[in-house]
Amino acid sequence: MNQENSKEVLYDKHGFLRIFNIKPSNTEWSLDLFVSNRIDYLRLLLVIALLCLAFNTRAARVPGLYEAMVPVASQSPSLRNQALREALRRVVIKVTGTMDLSAYFYSNSLAIGPLVEQFGYESAEQGGERQLFLWAKLNPEGVQQIIREQGLPIWPEERPATLIWLAIEDKAGREIIAEGSGHEVVTVLKKAAAQRGMPIIMPLMDLTESASIDFIRVAGMDGQVLAKASEKYASQYVLVGYLLEQEGLWQGRWQSAGEQPATVAIGSLENVVSAGINPLANRIAQQFSGFAPGDNPQYIEIIIDDIRDAAGYGRSLAYLRSISLVNQADVTRMDLQGVSFRLHTHADIASVLRVIDLDRVLYARDTVDRLVFGLNPQGLQ
């Protein structure tokens, strides 16, 4: 479904990009939905959900959220237990979107064993030397239970991708980092983003882009040019960076939508890259995370009013059951008004609605007293 957007690009006094503010002009995607006996409550929730609308984009399902790699000195049982607790902390950071963990996660009394589904060891090169790592896969239900008990939010697995425009200047010369680049910063970027569970994409820098975008435009954060070039990627977030290496020391400047002022960092390449990734990951997680209301599941009744055949019915049910926050999806009624579904979830209603909106498989109807959706044909392909 095509959607026209109005764009507002602002600059700071140095001419650097300040905001990519994309406002949908087509109100058909609006989550202006209400339940008759909870109108005020749902109105508040759905206003919150509307805050995340920006681009006509789809979510990326982040793999490996409940897995972590931790460096270890040996395979001794004592070091293994310490590494498994560190693996839990790394998983919780990815699942919640917050790096501010309570003392509970650092306690030696934390029973990590029941949470571990698999673990093993592998060796990899790090800093020019071989390093031993412990790999662990944790139980999602168990981790989420601890997160709820500790009063932390859950950032759904369906997450918006961030497009990164990055200009690098080092002893090898100048480069705009593109998809497929062999520069070491690509590995560092992907690692930093993976540690936060943040999907990222790099520009292709094909012939068309190369003709309109040069190093100076990215390093100077030319907002107007980069906003235009970013349209084809349909990415909800854009991060622009310029990194300079001088005598082994890296300097970096990062700018993302709504970030005022730009982030400036000096240090190792890893630290400078993290200075760009972490603030944006924090902000995205705050926008899309939600707090579970308690251990008891909630029920959300929705209607899809334009299912025309068995194939549409099957794909709709499969999609609803695939939502990470939905524990169970059942059909409760089929009539002339559409097919009614009951969604079981431990999450808050607004979080589930944000995921549905982000996925673009369904779009919200403009109704007053029910949660009614239509099928997006492109979303079911």
* DSSP secondary structure, 33-57, as one string: ---GGGHHHHHHHHHHHHTT--SS-
pLDDT in tens, 173-211: 999 999 999 999 999 999 999 999 999 999 999 999 999
111-155 confidence digits (pLDDT tens)? 999 999 999 999 998 878 899 999 999 999 999 999 989 999 999
Q: Are residues 228 and 341 in the same domain?
A: no
Q: 206-238: per-residue pLDDT in tens?
A: 999 999 999 999 999 998 899 999 999 988 899
pLDDT band at 108 (very low <50, low <70, confident <90, very high): confident
Q: What is the pLDDT of residue 30?
A: 30
Task: Please indicate, yes or no, whether residues 249 and 162 belong to a single structural domain of this protein.
Answer: yes
Asked if residue 199 is part of any domain, the answer here is yes
pLDDT digits over 42-53, tens only? 443 333 333 333
The average confidence (pLDDT) of the chain is 84
Report the distance separating Cα 59 and Cα 206, nearest Å: 24
Same domain, 30 and 82: no
Per-residue pLDDT reduced to its tens digit, 301-327: 999 999 989 999 999 999 999 999 999
Q: Provide the phi-psi class of 91: left if phi over 0, else alpha when psi is between -120 and 50, else beta.
A: alpha
The pTM of this model reads 0.79
pLDDT at position 64 over 80: yes
Confidence grade of residue 27 (pLDDT, cut at 50, 70, 90): very low
Helix (H, G, I), strand (E, B) or coil at 188: helix
Whether residue 246 is found in the same domain as residue 283: yes
End residue of a domain, out of 288, 321, 345? 288
Q: Tell me what percent of the residues of the chain surpass a pLDDT of 70.
A: 82
Confidence (pLDDT) at 23: 30
Looking at the fold, whether 225 and 144 belong to one and the same domain comes out as: no
The answer on 214 and 322 residing in a single domain is no
> Which residue segment(s) compose the domain that 257 sits in?
157-288
54 has a pLDDT exceeding 60: no
Q: Where among 104, 125, 149 does a domain terminate?
A: 149
302 with 364, same domain?
Answer: yes
Question: Which CATH number is 261's domain given?
Answer: 3.40.50
Secondary structure of residue 249 in the 3-state scheme: strand
CA distance 309 to 290: 35
Same domain, 282 and 296: no
Evaluate whether residue 2 is within a structural domain: no
Bin 267: left if φ > 0, else alpha if -120 < ψ < 50, else beta: left
Show which of 258, 273, 288 is a domain's final residue. Answer: 288
Structural domain includes residue 12: no
Instruction: Quote the pLDDT of residue 24.
Output: 30
pLDDT in tens, 160-177: 999 999 999 999 999 999
pLDDT band at 57 (very low <50, low <70, confident <90, very high): low
Establish if 62 belongs to a structural domain: no
User: Which band of pLDDT confidence, cut at 50, 70 and 90, is reported for residue 380?
Assistant: low
Is 9 a member of any domain? Answer: no
